[in-house]
Amino acid sequence: MIFKTLLSLILGLVCLCWASFAQAQQGSPQNAGARGAAMGNASVTFTDINSAFSNQAGLAFLEELSFTAYGESRFLTTGINSFLFGVAYPHKKLGTFGLTVNYFGFDAYSEQKIGISYARKLFKNLSLGVQLDYLGTRIPEYGSANSLTFELGLLAKVNDELSIGVHAYSPVRVPVHLGANGNFDKISPIFKIGAAYTPSKHVILSGEIEKNLDHPFNGKLGIEYRPIDVFAIRAGVSTSPFLASFGFGLRLKSLDIDLASSYHQMLGFTPSLSVSYAVGRAGKESHKQD
């Protein structure tokens, strides 16, 4: 009994330190699939199904019913995993409706996030996205916490080469009640602004600046090179914490398979995998900014 209690306390402390370091607490936005993970998560201008996790405004540019599933193993640590699932349905007149489900954690600590989103084009090349989030945190020894918050995003395609995106996660500080003792914390607002430049149909360069009001600025840079339509090579970097990343993508008609890995000099590698499916997309061009 003593050993079990001590082990639970150690795991709880490790988890709290880990979550703070990895900025995964309180439902904070995670990687935009393995594509985003490979590009330093410079993903605020994505317009594929992965935009459901980075900037919901990008969903307005979807043309097909799309699904995605994503998983990662944080620094190859046994039991500390993150899983994402997303689906988006674009309606020609009403806009795009989406659903995302996120899970992060292990037995002694876990977080869940469920998001319901809506995106619509305000003009031909300008879109707005919103999402309502339900957040849940569970620590068996201490209780659970639940809260609601929201996200907002804008995406503008300035021209064929340049796109600009902005996104706000929980722009107001929503309180989170912890357990039955009346203690509470507040969700940290996160703001992002970024751009993507497409000098040719084979290359996409992306960058963004992220500010969590409780953490330093985080700069992100990414590149995607598609030598042929069915294959992509990606790389990226982020500054806070410093992570280098790389990955590959394979497009088989309606199916996308993306692999990525990021590296932290102290904690090591985080491998990840995404599988996405767009109904009826087969035969369409795959080199567009998405």
Q: Which two tokens stand for residue 263?
A: 């590296």
Alpha-carbon distance of 65 to 58, in angstroms, equals 14
**Residue entry with tokens 């439902």:** 27
**Residue entry with tokens 């992306």:** 206
Alpha-carbon distance of 203 to 45, in angstroms, equals 14
Nearest to 249 by CA among 269, 225, 270, 271: 225
DSSP track, 78-141 = TT-EEEEEEEEEEETTTEEEEEEEEEEEETTEEEEEEEEEEEEEEETTEEEEEEEEEEEEEETT
pLDDT of res. 232: 98
- The pTM assigned to this predicted structure is 0.85
Identify how many contiguous H helices and E strands the chain contains and give both numbers.
3, 16
Contact between 42 and 243 under an 8 Å Cβ cutoff? The reply is no
**17: helix, strand or coil:** helix
Cβ neighbours of 175 (radius 10 Å): 11
Angle, alpha carbons 244-80-42 (nearest 5°): 30
Sorted by where each begins, the domain ranges of the chain are 2-278
pLDDT of res. 51: 97
Q: Is the dihedral of CA 208, 246, 17, 51 positive or negative?
A: positive
**223: helix, strand or coil:** strand
pLDDT in tens, the chain (290 residues): 443 433 343 344 344 333 333 344 455 778 999 999 999 999 999 999 999 999 999 999 999 999 999 999 888 877 778 999 999 999 999 999 999 999 988 777 888 999 999 999 999 999 999 999 999 888 777 777 888 999 999 999 999 999 999 999 999 988 776 655 556 678 889 999 999 999 999 999 999 999 999 899 999 999 999 999 999 999 999 998 899 999 999 999 899 999 999 999 898 999 999 999 999 887 554 444 45
Could you give phi then psi for residue 20, rounded to 5 degrees? -65, -45
pLDDT of res. 78: 73
2-278 CATH, one of 3.30.1490.20, 3.40.30.10, 1.10.630.10, 2.40.160.60: 2.40.160.60
